[in-house]
Amino acid sequence: MRDSNATVVVSGTTNVDTFVTVQNFPQPGETTIAEPGIEGLGGKGANQAAACAHMGVNTVLLSAVGNDPQGELAITELREHGVNTDYIVSSRQPTGRAFIMNDPSGENIIIVTSGANELVSPAQQRETVKELRRQGPVPIVLAQGDLTPEHSAELPKLVENSDSRLVLNLAPVTTRDPDLLAAADPLVLNEGEAAAVLDAAPGTPIEELLDRLRHIARSVVVTLGQRGAMIVEGDAEPVHIPAVYVERVVDTTGAGDAFCGTLAAALAQGENLVDACTLGAAAGALATQKRGAAGSYATENEIRRLGEA
Ligand code: ADP
């Protein structure tokens, strides 16, 4: 059942990304000249919030930016994507930045400065979520792995004793706190992250990973790039969600974030986990057809047309 009043709360990072293409990566001590870079919204929280808002769901991002031009750019772009930025805190630290250097083969080197994201107050976020619950239902709280350890440790408290469900995309794997993992429903990981959470050897078969993951979270989704995704819920047999075939992949940046934001939105719209992942896979596939992250995200109509085909 679709509740147009329902809100997804995203507790996550906001960055401004700068992309520069170089012919060859500089060696230590070397300077490389490049064309002026492209700047745009980034950070896993912001990207996933944008993907969620593209599904037509009320989306509130709880995050922090600096009192600087990058903070203004991030807020402007988030609003253009339809994200509610009213609760984004202005911090004395600069806005988080990611500097992404690509070479012509598509290989990249990335430097991230967390900046304002480090000063987010989990206690303040808990108060905000309480306030939002007074305004209407908050069926989903969505969070990612790129938070400070203190912030991640507080996430279970954002959903405890409430009707909210925590969708946790533990990317990167910065913690294995059992209480946090147990609160996730679902825990969303790619194959490498699934192995890392379990401390399993790289190359461990997916069946073995899923059998172990089912014991650590209420439900688990493992995304497998162009092979789609696997879902395990309790003792049930794993379910495979096929990927949508894409003839020409342009850029896979942000496909995982599109998948997670769309999955959270679809759950908030009342879809079950399998249907929500099917829509997530459609959004992920569409995101590979354009360059960049949030700027490459499709509309609800495009996603549903592909996901329900
Ligand atoms: P991450 O970027 O976090 O590693 P994945 O690469 O697994 O995540 O991508 C997330 C989802 O996006 C996949 O489960 C799949 O549904 C979709 N996707 C990613 N790459 C492709 C692709 N090349 N073709 C079709 N769908 C894709």
Our count of domains for the chain comes to 1
The secondary element (H helix, E strand) that includes residue 47 is: helix 44-54
* Identity of residue 228: G
Residue 2 lies in a domain: no
Give the distance (Å) from ligand 1 centre to CA of residue 229.
8
Q: Give the CATH number, domain containing residue 36.
A: 3.40.1190.20
Instruction: Assign 171 to helix, strand or coil.
Output: coil
For ligand 1, whether the C-beta of 241 sits within 6 Å is: no
Atom number of ligand 1 nearest to Cα 280: 16
Neighbours of 174 (CB within 10 A): 16
List the residue whose alpha carbon is closest to atom 3 of ligand 1.
256
Give the distance (Å) from ligand 1 centre to CA of residue 281.
7
Residue 32 lies in a domain: yes
Residue 138 lies in a domain: yes
Residue 96 lies in a domain: yes
For ligand 1, whether the C-beta of 232 sits within 6 Å is: no
Boundaries of domain holding 127: 7-308
Mean pLDDT of all residues belonging to the chain: 94
Residue 273 lies in a domain: yes
Residue 112 lies in a domain: yes
pLDDT at 169: 98
pTM for the model stands at 0.95
* pLDDT grade for 172, boundaries at 50, 70 and 90: very high
Residue 1 lies in a domain: no
Give the distance (Å) from ligand 1 centre to CA of residue 259.
8
Q: Any binding-site annotation on 31?
A: no
Residue 49 lies in a domain: yes
Q: Is the pLDDT of residue 3 over 80?
A: no
| Burial grade of 2 (CB within 10 A; 0-12, 13-18, 19 or more) | exposed
